[in-house]
Amino acid sequence: MRRGAFRISVIAGLSLLAGAALSAAPDQATVPTPAEAAGYRLYTQSEGVSSFLSVLDARAPEVSVRIVGRSLSKDEYGARDIYLAVLANKAGPGPESLDRTKPTVLVVAAQHGNEQSAKEAVLWLLRDLAVGDLRPLLDRINVLVMPQVNPYGNFFDVRTNELGLDMNRDHVKLETEGVRAIHRVFRAWMPEVTVDVHEKGDDYYRVSIGCVSNVNISRGLQDFSRRTILAEVEKSLRKRNITFHEYLITEDLGVDTSSGAAYGRDPAGTREQMKRYSTTDLNDGRNSLGIYETLSFIQEGASRHDLETLKDRTTWQYHGLRAFLEAVAGRSAEVLKMVRDHRARLLDRSKAPAAGDVVHLRMRYARDPGQPELVLKRFERALSPIRGVLKVDKKAGETLTMADIAPHGGPPTLKIVEEVVKNWFPEVEPTLSVPRPRGYLIRSDRQDLVETLLALGVEVDIFEKGALVEAAAYHVKDIVPAALDYLAPERIEVELAEILRHVAQKGDFYVDGAQPAANLVPGLLEPQSEYGLIRYWKFKLAPEPGGVFPILRITGSRALPVVPYKRWPS
């Protein structure tokens, strides 16, 4: 679609939405979503989201809306607000207003701007929770909704944001305003459950939901996600004849493209393909929140990414989310206790690490001998048996030339076939681990690192005076730097050497290993971590061979003269 025509369509859609909202009676049980008001002929834009949230906020005391961020202005497309809608029996302006005797669920949509049904379905869900038949769920759960975190991508119908960045590969660097907003909301409200809504390609499985894969996250949470929540979602969707499967990734055998690095593709298609569950990477939205011992998920709806199918694909997304919330609400007490127990145990472990308590820095996908193959269903396109339409009358036996036939405009037919996946890697196993740390020392001149840590919700202290500390330094024996940004060094060999009397200067930073982010901290700050800050060129953390990694590992147990470091709001 031409850009000018797209803008005209957007304006028309906003007018249609405004008219529908103004004509609605005050006691009307429901209000149309922007997509419904537009007859699913337009994609909802930021102004439509704002108008819709205003109507719901006015109609339902269970809804409270706040602005939690703002995208950047680029060229002729200006900055746009990023919204959070809070749905609860007693919805208020802040986290303190929630009834925390029930679990809180965070729903995020539209990190990828061209995955439009995610946003449309979330607005539909939001409406039904506020003024529709899902309202009773609020007796058992609180729901936080961020319906559009990439306004620029939505407007231009592109995957990236206004900086040209993939937001769902930015959950470590936090360079995009929308992802920063997600993490601010998460750390302020600390929901027990999160779901990030996306679209995939056209697929036999209309709804796919995946849970976390990073092995630092409790296996108990992962098992509950699969065996209970996803099982109940599948059962619910089956009743609606909506096909479901746990979310799967297809990629070249032995390759992990989830980091966001600018990998080259295999144009000849000569490599064998593998399937696995989704990524272990911490720069993925799901694992970046799941690492706090959260029940964290991604939903992917099948999509052709066109307006013609918008209503269908929005419907599939909506019913997937509805089934998901109903499953969580039906297990609300169990969910609340499970997540809180795991978070409390992690904090206790990090305060007094036991021998053998380790944090995993590198992982690989692995086969399951008990399930060596996976059988899936998929669509296979077949050519139509119709070859064309005759332009002239012909009798049997007469010759036929191409000039006599007009092209047939009918679509190819689809059939459902079974596929046996032999390169099936459902497991993840650690390949490099380190003992759980006491903490880390960061020099005062590395404010860039500290700002990123704080934005991720990591607690950071500052030395109020100089002090002798027991520490260890990583000496780099050998290193082969990564060829691409976003990748860990291709090879790095280190030796940890004790420094018994290191002088910490006033103004240096201390990152305690005992905090809610206890599993995240070493993943970010260890030099051999495949998820760490070392892999981003902007931080310049990779030393030369024979050099010293600039972040020290604290080994002693003595009290340190530190106070919490704050970023004061402007």
Q: Is 31 within the bounds of a domain? A: no
Residue 328 and residue 407 in one domain? no
Q: Is 10 within the bounds of a domain? A: no
Residue 306 and residue 400 in one domain? no
Residue 304 and residue 410 in one domain? no
- Strand ranges inside 465-566, DSSP E: 467-480, 491-504, 509-512, 552-554, 562-564
Which phi and psi angles does 20 have, rounded to 5°?
-65, -40
Q: Is 569 within the bounds of a domain? A: no
Determine the residue type at 347.
Answer: L
Distance CA 107, CA 180 (A): 15
Strand partners, 504: 467
Low-confidence spans in the chain with pLDDT less than 50: 1-28
User: CA end-to-end span of the chain, whole Å?
Assistant: 42
pLDDT of residue 338: 98
List, for residues 508-548, the tens digit of each pLDDT value: 999 999 999 999 999 999 999 999 999 999 999 999 999 99
Residue 91 and residue 215 in one domain? yes
Q: What is the per-residue DSSP string for 279-322?
A: ---TTSHHHHHHTTT-EEEEEEE----SGGGHHHHHHHHHHHHH
Q: Is 173 within the bounds of a domain? A: yes
Residue 322 and residue 345 in one domain? yes
List, for residues 373-395, the tens digit of each pLDDT value: 999 999 987 766 666 777 777 77
pLDDT of residue 190: 97
Residue 456 and residue 519 in one domain? yes
pLDDT of residue 5: 38
Asked which of 362, 397, 425 is the last residue of a domain, the reply is: 425
Residue 382 and residue 297 in one domain? no
CA angle 164, 295, 360 (to 5 degrees): 75
Structural domain boundaries enclosing 400: 374-425
pLDDT of residue 286: 95
Asked which of 349, 364, 391 is the last residue of a domain, the reply is: 349
Residue 382 and residue 236 in one domain? no
pLDDT of residue 412: 60
Q: Is 263 within the bounds of a domain? A: no
pLDDT of residue 567: 79
Residue 334 and residue 379 in one domain? no
Among 509, 485, 517, which Cα is nearest to 173's? 485
pLDDT of residue 408: 60
The HSE-up count of residue 281 (CA atoms within 13 Å, CB side) is 22
Q: Is 361 within the bounds of a domain? A: no
pLDDT of residue 6: 36
Residue 454 and residue 516 in one domain? yes
pLDDT of residue 12: 39
Residue 402 and residue 524 in one domain? no
Total count of domains within the chain: 3
Residue 93: which CATH number? 3.40.630.10
Q: How far is CA 40 from CA 2, 43, 314, 533, 537, in A?
A: 19, 7, 9, 43, 43
Q: Is 195 within the bounds of a domain? A: yes
Residue 491 and residue 405 in one domain? no
Q: Is 118 within the bounds of a domain? A: yes
pLDDT of residue 411: 55
CA angle 488, 492, 496 (to 5 degrees): 120
Which phi and psi angles does 68 have, rounded to 5°?
-120, 0
